Structure 1
Amino acid sequence: MSADVLERSDVSPPSNDLTRRRSWLPILWTLPPVLVVLGIAGYPILRVLTESTRTPTGRGTEVWFSVLGSEAFRDALWRTVSIAVCATAGCLVLGTFLAIVLAFVPFPGSGVVGRLIDTILTLPSFLITLAFTFLYGTAGAVNALIAELTGATTPVIDFLTTPLGVILAEITYFTPFVVRPVLAAFAQLPREQLDVAASLGASPWRVLRQVVLPEAWPALAAGGSLVLLLTLNEFGIVLFTGAKGVITLPALIYTRGIVTFDLPGAAVLASVQVLLSLSLYLVYRFVFARFIARPKEQ
């Protein structure tokens, strides 16, 4: 028997115990972070669901039927969804326009403008509302300028405490969440395609419609899904505008839980809010995964 055969015969396969131990190692490494996530995110959700069933009569379904069947809930749900959809549409339009300008219309200071847009992402949302108040409030700079020019004694611009004011503030704050992914999509677009399309006589609008925008659809879908998720849960802008007639689900949860101390009712509303958020988050992750996978397929 040769030496090679003897060496191979001396090497024994790993034992079953060692194999089982190695298969358990990934589970042991992932168990601590999973437990931390469950403790931070899972326990509060479970506590909210439990609180929504605690009533003096012991019938938790009564609270659910009472809250979900109330006119206040229907109005708040409609107001939340309508504001979120309008703000998302505005962010998509404005974000696409800004991304096109920054990517394809070179001008002095474009880098500074891009950094300023990124800076908005680091600011809390209520600062945008305060800026709107200083500019467009009844005693803001714009109304003061109009009064000085025209002699008007009453504020000409008074939209800040209306749904329109909330929508405009949300568009201002959340538009960068659309600009960034769209700019990333434009950066992956080969310049040769644009040059070939232009050399074949295509107009700039046709190039934009048939070459540029198709590449941006996944990024627009991902950014729009994220903005819709964030606007559905936005509370700071609604609170700081002082729009008493604009009652969204987060504002109604705050009123029920903090002002009137109706914890079971607030828990029911919070459960609905969590369900909406999780559903939209799954949609966002699906769209974002498609956006990431598309360049690899190409």
Structure 2
Amino acid sequence: MSSSLVVEPAVAPEASGSAATQRNWRPIAWSAPPLLVVLLFAVYPVVRVLTESTAKSGAWSQVLGSESFRNALWRTVSIAVCSTAGCLVLGSFVAVVLAFVPFPGSGAVGRLIDTVLTLPSFLITLAFTFLYGTAGALDALIARFTGNHSPALNFLATPTGVVLAEITYFTPFVVRPLLAAFAQLPREQLDVAASLGASPWRVLRRVVLPEAWPALAAGGSLVLLLTLNEFGIVLFTGAKGVITLPALIYTRGIVTFDLPGAAVLATVQVALSLALYIAYRLIFARFTVSRTTQEG
């Protein structure tokens, strides 16, 4: 009786080292293309703007010390805050109605909200112009009934008109996250609260809203970031007296061709956006940790 001995082939140290090196380089090779795209389309423009802002001596002090910059900064922040507050109030109301007050056509309204998300902002502004402009349909209707042909509505080219147009356009960005959060809310909690005699307002305040805070914070932060950088609505409303930072950047860079001054303003705009995003991430992370601790 003979037994056979199977001898495993020896692996050369050079081959094992080559395989390990290949495994180490594979993640780098996969991450290189998206990293190059980010560097080319995100990092390079920011670095280029920062470089251009220092090309002219005294550009920073001249721009930041001007009254036009202070007015534009205040106008930008005030419009963004008012628009965000309006979107939060209107978006919360619309989301609660769509989620908890069934009515005929609620599905169509939800799909219409999704459609608004796909439209460019200038279309909403043009619709506002056709409806509420000095030569719009509503002014024509008022003139027909009153006989007074002077414009009865003349708010579109004011900060109020810009805020109303931004609320109309950006409210779906609050409604959609809230609807997603309400869809995950267990209906048993609502039924138990109602069976214990809680009023609808108390159920909304004690059961529904605590579950919706993350979605509300996410939607509000996104709207604040978008309104802070909005330019199309300001441009298409024809609000010449409403000068925001994006509008001032356009004026300096395109109209007067002051590229260093426009680069300074663009740097400030980027800094505001990054600061807002970092603050949102910190607040959201703290809220998540606090909520996890309470549930644990």
Query: Structure 1 length as normaliser, TM-score?
Result: 0.90
Match of 1:118 among 111, 114, 119: 114
Is residue 2:19 matched to residue 1:18?
Answer: yes
After TM superposition, the structure 1 = structure 2 runs for residues 91-102 of structure 1, keeping only pairs within 5 Å, are 91-102=87-98
Match of 2:225 among 224, 229, 234: 229
Structure 1 equivalent of residue 239 of structure 2? 243
Structure 2 equivalent of residue 179 of structure 1? 175
Per-residue deviation at 1:154?
1.3
Structure 1 equivalent of residue 190 of structure 2? 194
Q: Which amino acid counterpart does residue 116 of structure 1 have in structure 2?
A: L
Map Cα deviations across residues 133-176 of structure 1 (whole Å, 9 max, x no partner). 01000111111111111122311111000000000000000000
Map Cα deviations across residues 8-42 of structure 1 (whole Å, 9 max, x no partner). 99799993442233122111110111011110111
SS at match of 2:198: coil
Q: Structure 1 residues 161 and 7 mapped into 2: Cα distance closer, same or farther (>3 Å)?
A: farther
Structure 2 equivalent of residue 164 of structure 1? 160
Per-residue deviation at 1:202?
0.3
Per-residue deviation at 1:53?
1.1
Map Cα deviations across residues 172-230 of structure 1 (whole Å, 9 max, x no partner). 00000000100111011000000000000000010011001111111000000000000
Q: Which amino acid counterpart does residue 92 of structure 1 have in structure 2?
A: L
Per-residue deviation at 1:241?
0.5
Is residue 2:262 matched to residue 1:266?
Answer: yes
Q: Structure 1 residues 200 and 169 mapped into 2: Cα distance closer, same or farther (>3 Å)?
A: same
Q: Distance in 1 between matches of 2:8 and 2:178?
A: 58
- Which is further off, 39-48 or 96-105? 39-48
Q: Distance in 1 between matches of 2:216 and 2:97?
A: 16
Kept after mapping to 2: 8 A contact 1:226/1:284: no
Q: Structure 1 residues 287 and 181 mapped into 2: Cα distance closer, same or farther (>3 Å)?
A: farther
Match of 2:75 among 74, 79, 83: 79
Q: Structure 1 residues 292 and 19 mapped into 2: Cα distance closer, same or farther (>3 Å)?
A: farther
Map Cα deviations across residues 49-95 of structure 1 (whole Å, 9 max, x no partner). 1111112xxx3xx1101101111101000000000000000000000
Per-residue deviation at 1:109?
0.6
Is residue 2:38 matched to residue 1:42?
Answer: no
Q: Which amino acid counterpart does residue 267 of structure 1 have in structure 2?
A: A
Q: Which amino acid counterpart does residue 22 of structure 2 have in structure 1?
A: R
In the alignment of these two chains, the number of paired residues is 289
- Which is further off, 142-151 or 282-291? 282-291
SS at match of 1:121: helix
Q: Distance in 2 between matches of 1:263 and 1:104?
A: 52
Q: Distance in 2 between matches of 1:126 and 1:289?
A: 35
Q: What is the root-mean-square deviation in Å for CA atoms of aligned residues?
A: 2.5
**Ranges in structure 2 where 5+ consecutive residues have no aligned partner:** none
Query: Structure 2 length as normaliser, TM-score?
Result: 0.91
Q: Distance in 2 between matches of 1:107 and 1:290?
A: 38
Match of 1:142 among 114, 127, 138: 138
Q: Which amino acid counterpart does residue 32 of structure 2 have in structure 1?
A: L
Structure 2 equivalent of residue 28 of structure 1? 29
- Which is further off, 284-293 or 37-46? 284-293
Q: Which amino acid counterpart does residue 47 of structure 2 have in structure 1?
A: L
Q: Which amino acid counterpart does residue 157 of structure 1 have in structure 2?
A: L
**Ranges in structure 1 where 5+ consecutive residues have no aligned partner:** none
